[in-house]
Structures are given as C-alpha cells and as structure tokens.
C-alpha cells in the first residue's frame, strides 16, 4: 500500500508540473500579446483623408450659409414691413400736424376778438338758457366733426373744467377754439411720438437685415471656389436689404419742423 501511494505521487507530480508550466507559458504569451498590441494598433491606424475632411468642412459651411441666407431673407422682409408701418404712421403724424396747424390758426384769429368787450345783452333767465343751448350745440357739432374728444364734450355738458354756460357766445367761441387747438396739439404730439418709435423700429430692422445679408454673403464667399454658381443668392439678399434703408434726414427734418412753440397765448 505505501508503495502504491508513492508510485502514484512520483508519476503524477511531474505530469501536474508540466501542466502548470504549460499554463504559465500560455499566460505569459497572452500578456505579451496584450502589451505589444497597442503599439501594433497605433502603427496600423490609417492616415486621415484630407479630401474627406475638406468635404465635411464644406458641408458645414454650406449648411451655415443656407441658414444665414434664410435668416437674412426673413430680416429683409421684416425690415420692409417695418418701413411700410413707419410710412403709414408718418402719414398719420402729417395729418395730425395739419389739423393742429389749422386749429392754431383758428384760435389765433379769435385772439384779437378777446380784447373787445362782450356784446351787451339783458341778463335774464331766458338769455342764460339761450347761451347754454348755444354752448351745448356748438360743442356737439365740434365733437361730431372730430374737433373735441368725448371727454372734452362731457366736460362741456357738465359745465366743469372752465366751461361756464353763462358766458356770452362770443366768449364761448374763443374758449371753444382754444380747447380744439389744445386737443389737436395733444393728438399731434402723440402721433409724432408714434412716428419716432416706428422710425426707430424700422431703422433697427434695416440694420439687422444689412448685417445678416453681409454675413450671408461672407459665408457664401467661402464656398465660391467650389460652388460659384450659388454665390449670387446672398448678394441678392444684400441688395434687397440695402433698399430698406430709412431716410433719417427726411424724418428728422419733418419732426424738427413740427416741434415749435404755440403762437397763441
């Protein structure tokens, strides 16, 4: 029995040692392969393709140029719309100025009559009732013609804010002319302010359109050697943006001519 155990030990130990030696050699070989593989991989990577990189760069430039061209076209359309709005508001301001100028001239004509004494009439209840009817009728007529606002008419009918129905119609006519002048002056001032805001908006929109058109042209110019047939589109957008320039001098001259002190005290 001891001899059998000794026999098995002597015969199996060398076999196990051989197996472990083989496994160790295999592990060392795999480790060497893993260590050496990055160097082989780095050396085996293909070189970058300049043509592919250039194509990708031009594709990015083309996409950017198209996006900027679309934005420039939208900005030019907005600038044209803002300019049309400014022209409309400018016409309204012109009409408001003419209405105020007419009211001022009418009030100035009555300024000399204010120095004359009022006509002598008997101060009876019937006379005061007639004066009140005249005032109400004149105020209603002025309101229907657009000379007085609804608030001013309400003040006349309520006899407040300086409206006295006991005054002679000659005096009431002077007060009425001044009220019409002040109302039209306020309307013109509001219209002039709207015109200035519309002009600033139009000029800002035109400047934005010009900037985007120039940017679109520059983006397309970068593609011109490869795509010369498409370089004309942004140039057209730039020319369209140039047509929406707001005449600054004309608007300033109009506004400057209007702002002057009233000539009626």
- pLDDT 10s digits, 64-116: 888 888 999 999 999 999 999 999 999 999 999 999 999 998 888 877 655 55
Nearest to 180 by CA among 141, 207, 213, 228: 141
Cα separation, 157 vs 36, whole angstroms? 106
Q: 41 or 25, which is more confident?
A: 25
Sign of the dihedral defined by the CA atoms of residues 109, 114, 263, 187, in that order: negative
Cα separation, 152 vs 138, whole angstroms? 12
Domain extent listing, the chain: 50-105+198-258
pLDDT in tens, 117-126: 556 666 788 8
Q: How confident is the model at residue 262 (pLDDT cuts 50, 70, 90)?
A: very low
**Under a CB-based contact definition with an 8 Å cutoff, are residues 65 and 214 in contact?**
no
Given a cut of 50, whether residue 145 has pLDDT beyond it is yes
Those residues with Cβ within 8 angstroms of residue 211's Cβ, 6 or more apart along the chain or in another chain = none
Cα separation, 226 vs 24, whole angstroms? 62
Nearest to 178 by CA among 112, 104, 99: 104
pLDDT in tens, 147-195: 888 888 888 888 888 788 888 888 888 889 888 998 899 999 999 999 9
Task: Tell me if residue 226 falls in helix, strand or coil.
Answer: coil
Q: 57 or 178, which is more confident?
A: 178
Least confident stretch, 26-35, 129-138, 181-190, 255-264? 255-264
- CA dihedral angle for residue 98, residue 99, residue 100, residue 105, rounded to 10 degrees: 90
Least confident stretch, 30-39, 150-159, 245-254? 245-254
Q: How confident is the model at residue 264 (pLDDT cuts 50, 70, 90)?
A: very low
Provide, rounded to the nearest whole percent, the portion of the chain with pLDDT above 70: 62
Nearest to 237 by CA among 205, 221, 213: 213
Q: Please tell me the predicted confidence (pLDDT) of residue 3.
A: 53
Nearest to 202 by CA among 77, 89, 80: 80
Average pLDDT score over the chain = 75
**Under a CB-based contact definition with an 8 Å cutoff, are residues 111 and 234 in contact?**
no
Q: Please tell me the predicted confidence (pLDDT) of residue 203.
A: 94
End-to-end CA distance of the chain: 145
Given a cut of 60, whether residue 216 has pLDDT beyond it is yes
Extract the tokens encoding 55: 């194509």
Q: Please tell me the predicted confidence (pLDDT) of residue 202.
A: 94
Q: Please tell me the predicted confidence (pLDDT) of residue 258.
A: 42
């Amino acid at each position: 029995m001891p001899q059998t155990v000794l026999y098995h030990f002597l015969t199996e130990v060398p076999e196990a040692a051989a197996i472990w030696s083989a496994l160790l050699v295999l592990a060392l070989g795999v480790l060497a392969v893993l260590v050496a593989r990055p160097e082989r991989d780095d050396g085996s990577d293909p070189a970058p393709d300049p043509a592919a990189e250039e194509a990708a760069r031009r594709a990015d430039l083309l996409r950017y140029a198209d996006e900027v061209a679309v934005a420039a076209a939208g900005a030019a359309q907005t600038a044209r719309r803002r300019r049309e709005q400014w022209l409309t508001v400018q016409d309204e301001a012109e009409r408001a100025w003419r209405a105020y100028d007419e009211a001022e001239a009418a009030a100035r004509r009555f300024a000399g009559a204010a120095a004359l004494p009022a006509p002598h009439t008997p101060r009876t209840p019937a006379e005061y009732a007639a004066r009140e009817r005249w005032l109400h009728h004149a105020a209603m007529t002025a309101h229907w013609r657009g000379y007085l606002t609804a608030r001013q008419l309400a003040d006349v009918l309520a006899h407040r804010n300086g409206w006295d129905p006991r005054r002679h119609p000659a005096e009431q006519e002077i007060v009425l002319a001044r009220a019409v002048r002040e109302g039209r002056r306020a309307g013109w001032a509001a219209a002039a302010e709207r015109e200035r805001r519309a002009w600033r908006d139009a000029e800002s929109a035109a400047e934005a359109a010009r900037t985007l058109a120039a940017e679109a042209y520059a983006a397309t110019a970068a593609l011109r050697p490869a795509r010369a047939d498409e370089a004309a589109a942004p140039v057209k957008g730039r020319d369209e943006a140039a047509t929406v320039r707001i005449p600054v001098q004309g608007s300033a001259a109009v506004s400057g001519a209007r702002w002057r002190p009233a000539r009626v005290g």
